[in-house]
Amino acid sequence: MAFLYFATSLIWLERNVNESQWVCPFVLEGLGRSETLAVDDFTSTSQYRRCQEIFARWYPGFLNAGEQFRDIVADLVTPEALLLDLGCGRTSLAAEPIQRAKRSVGVDLSLADLQQNHALNDVILADGEALPFADNSFDLIVSQWTVEHFEHPGLVFAQIARVLRPGGSCVLFTTNAHNYVPLLSRLLSGQSQSGLIARLLQRPSHESFPTYYRANTAAQIGSICRDTGLCPKATVYVGNPFYLAFSPFLFCCALVFEKFTDTPPFTCLKLYLLTVLTKPAD
Ligand SMILES: C[S@@+](CC[C@H](N)C(=O)[O-])C[C@H]1O[C@@H](n2cnc3c(N)ncnc32)[C@H](O)[C@@H]1O
């Protein structure tokens, strides 16, 4: 029954979403009246705030994935570090610790995004599959929300292994392909990427890049690491029920899912995957 409700919800949204407006009938369920919301306004609605309050009661002191990513980077960065942000886009949730590095460099395929990135010392238009740097150039590589967009992740990981100095680390923050959000995203892929999925993922349409999910599970990452000489050192799964906050009913389901996946072996179903890789010292 719940699945049917969920599926029809998504089909309805798929048909009714357009670039400028987020028209959501399930918000009506909670508010009891007709309402049309611009997507950027949704997180400031009373319904969204109510979801945040409930979540805070269930998970007091919770650090979201972005905060945990920032803390991992903060632990690894040193004042002497040369740091690469791979697929840097416009900014990073770890911008503050990144700026503590001696020098930070970003690469990305999007010139428009690079031009708007003011968090890094240097930005370079380059493909992660062919990084324009000498071997062993960086002490630390970070990459946020990029791995699912790599068409050939094996080539990118090989470049990471090449430009990282022996003993250096790489921190990947990405979505976990085993979670329901990317599963739905893939189910509804194609024309949906700039519409419904951008809304579901609450990301602006300019960030809706093609997705492949070819290195988005711990097993896939482990396998590519074995091929490229990198070592997975730590894996952390972090949940997020807020993609379903547009419906009180679905948000409750999402909360139950979070509780269910708090216990191993089900933690590997949570939405985000934070992975620390190292390049073995010579
Ligand atoms: C979802 S955006 C994330 C941007 C930024 N890291 C952030 O979190 O806001 C994905 C980024 O990865 C970049 N990207 C995808 N494939 C790439 C590749 N092979 N080499 C370099 N950048 C790539 C895209 O251009 C895009 O800017």
Beta bridge partners of 274: 173, 236
Asked which of 2-16, 17-31, 68-82 is least confident by mean pLDDT, the reply is: 17-31
Name the more confident of 77 and 24: 77
d(CA 92, CA 81): 17
State the closest ligand 1 atom to the C-alpha of 203, by its place in the atom list counted from 1: 1
pLDDT class of 198 with cuts at 50, 70, 90:
low
Provide, rounded to the nearest whole percent, the portion of the chain with pLDDT above 90: 72
Ligand 1 atom closest to the CA of 173, numbered from 1: 8
* Domain residue limits, the chain: 64-278
Q: What is the pLDDT of residues 108-126, one digit of tens each?
A: 999 999 999 999 999 999 9
**Res. 211 pLDDT band, cuts 50 70 90:** confident
Q: Is 69 in the pocket of ligand 1 (CB under 6 A)?
A: no
pLDDT greater than 80 at residue 47? yes
pLDDT tens profile 146-181:
999 999 999 999 999 999 999 999 999 999 999 999
Q: How far is the CA of 154 from the centre of ligand 1 (A)?
A: 16
Pocket test for ligand 1, best of 83, 109, 129 (most atoms within 8 A of CB): 109
Short-list 137, 170, 162, CA closest to 278: 170
DSSP letter string, 130-151:
S--S-TT-EEEEEEES-GGG-S
Q: Is the pLDDT of residue 19 over 80?
A: no
Looking at residue 147, its pLDDT comes to 97
State pLDDT tens for residues 244-275: 998 999 999 999 999 999 999 999 999 999 99
Query: In the structure, what pLDDT confidence band is assigned to residue 42 with cuts at 50, 70 and 90?
Result: confident
Distance 107 CA to ligand 1 centre (A): 8
What proportions of the chain, in percent to the nearest 5, are helix, strand and coil? 45, 20, 40
Asked if residue 127 has its Cβ within 6 Å of ligand 1, the reply is yes
Residues 6+ apart with CB under 8 A from 110: 89
The proportion of the chain whose per-residue pLDDT surpasses 70, expressed as a percent, equals 79
Q: What is the best residue among 98, 156, 209 to mutate for testing ligand 1's pocket, by most ligand atoms within 8 Å of CB?
A: 209
Q: What is the band of 20 on the pLDDT scale with cuts at 50, 70, 90? A: very low
pLDDT tens profile 125-153: 999 999 999 999 999 999 999 999 999 99
Nearest CA to ligand 1 atom 27: 89
Q: What is the pTM of this model?
A: 0.84
What does the alpha-carbon distance between residue 45 and residue 62 come to, in Å, rounded to a whole number? 21
Q: What fold, for 64-278? A: Rossmann fold (3.40.50)
Distance 105 CA to ligand 1 centre (A): 14
